[in-house]
């Protein structure tokens, strides 16, 4: 027997219950997402001793000392350049390889197409950290430890499958008729790719580029395993090493360094947020 609840209270709850739940969850989402970042920002402006005392949430005086200290670290320019060089190469090269491959998969029927497509997917289910042991062994044998080349090839190899899978989806969704009419106008494959496919799949290309950028900028396990010289470190690696290199921890410097490594990528994301979010929501990006 189910007792039908009635009365003004039950009615009120029925009406407001879902709304309250939504606002509660939404508030939680915002606090949960923003707190770590905002706390790092606030702490980066505090005096190191002030942080230790845990007295107030906001800095007493907003100081830029920590940022000055980070920027004047002797290696900061080098680490920043390393990160930029590796990220640029590991975004452009995978993108080119992926555009070619995705075009092939989306527009041609050929033997082993399905098998080859699956082979592109497999690397995405291999935990990348598990590869650091054999990669270190292999690259030591090849004498490539502490070189840009070793970072390039490992970063590129892990970015190509991701970009390819995103682009196969986008290219596949472009009607073939458009390309066929370009063919009738005498356009060859390169022209069709450049003037028809790429412009039409532009949101996909941008998304693939941003995600390659993200992987390369944030990559840690490969650089940890394949580099051991100070001047070959990237920003995430140096951020990790800060833990050991500072005797008494200067929390403000630590936080300022964190913010400076996170900021460039977040700016890129903010600029292209709409395309990236839409691509993921539309199901075009699959892990």
Partner 1 sequence: MSHTTPMVEDGPTGADRLKPFVPYLLVLPGLLFVMGILGYAVVGGIILSLNETDMFMNKTFVGLKNYIDVFADPRFQDAMVRTLNFVVISIVLGIFMSMSFALVLYKVVRGRRFFRGLSLVPYFVSGIATAVMFRFIFTTSGGFVNTVLAQLGLPAQSWLGDPTLAFVVAIMANCWFMVPFASLILLGGLQTIDKDLYDAAAIDGANPIQIFFRITLPLIKPMLGVSLIWVSYISFSTFDIVLALTSGGPLKATELVSIYMYELAFQQLNFGQGAVLMVVLLVFNTVLSLIYIKIFVMGDRRHSEAGK
61 binds partner 1 (CB under 8 A): no
Does the protein bind partner 1 through residue 10 (CB under 8 A)?
Answer: no
Q: Within positions 157 to 196, which residues make up the interface with partner 1, using CB under 8 A?
A: 157-158, 160-161, 164, 168-169, 172-173, 176, 179-180, 183-184, 186-189
- Report if residue 119 touches partner 1, rule: CB under 8 A: yes
Of 130, 131, 104, nearest in space to 117 by CA: 104
* Best CA proximity match to 85, nearest among 269, 232, 275: 232
Candidate list 90, 156, 201, 205; residue touching partner 1; CB under 8 A: 156
What residues from 200 to 239 belong to the interface with partner 1 (CB under 8 A)? 214, 217-218, 220-221, 225, 236-237, 239
CB of 8 to partner 1, least distance (A): 20
- Residues 249-268 binding partner 1 (CB under 8 A) are 251, 254-255, 258, 261-262, 265-266
245 binds partner 1 (CB under 8 A): no
Residue 153 interacting with partner 1 (CB under 8 A): yes
Q: With contacts defined by CB under 8 A, name the span among 46-54, 60-68, 71-79, 199-207 that binds partner 1.
A: 46-54
Asked if residue 54 binds partner 1 (CB under 8 A), the reply is: yes
Taking CB under 8 A as the rule, does residue 109 contact partner 1?
Answer: yes
């Amino acid at each position: 027997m189910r007792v039908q609840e009635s009365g003004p209270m039950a009615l009120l709850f029925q009406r407001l219950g879902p709304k309250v739940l939504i606002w509660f969850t939404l508030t939680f989402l915002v606090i949960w997402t923003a707190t770590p970042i905002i706390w790092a920002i606030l702490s980066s402006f505090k005096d190191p001793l002030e942080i230790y005392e845990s007295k107030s949430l906001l800095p007493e005086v907003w100081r830029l000392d920590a940022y000055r200290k980070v920027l004047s670290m002797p290696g900061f320019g080098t680490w920043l350049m390393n990160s930029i060089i590796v990220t640029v190469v590991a975004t452009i090269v995978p993108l080119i390889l992926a555009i070619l491959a995705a075009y092939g998969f989306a527009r041609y029927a050929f033997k082993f197409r399905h098998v080859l497509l699956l082979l592109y997917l497999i690397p995405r289910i291999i935990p990348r950290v598990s590869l650091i042991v054999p990669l270190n062994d292999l690259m030591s044998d090849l004498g490539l430890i502490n070189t840009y080349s070793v970072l390039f090839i490992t970063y590129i190899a892990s970015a190509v499958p991701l970009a390819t899978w995103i682009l196969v989806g986008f290219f596949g969704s472009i009607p073939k008729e458009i390309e066929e009419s370009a063919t009738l106008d005498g356009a060859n494959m390169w022209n069709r790719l450049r003037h028809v496919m790429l412009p039409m799949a532009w949101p996909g290309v941008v998304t693939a580029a941003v995600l390659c950028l993200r992987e390369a900028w944030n990559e840690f396990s490969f650089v940890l395993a394949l580099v051991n010289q100070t001047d070959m470190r990237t920003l995430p690696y140096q951020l990790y090493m800060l833990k050991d290199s500072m005797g008494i921890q200067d929390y403000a410097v630590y936080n300022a360094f964190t913010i400076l490594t996170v900021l460039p990528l977040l700016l890129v994301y903010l600029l292209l947020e709409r395309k990236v979010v839409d691509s993921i929501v539309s199901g075009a990006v699959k892990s």
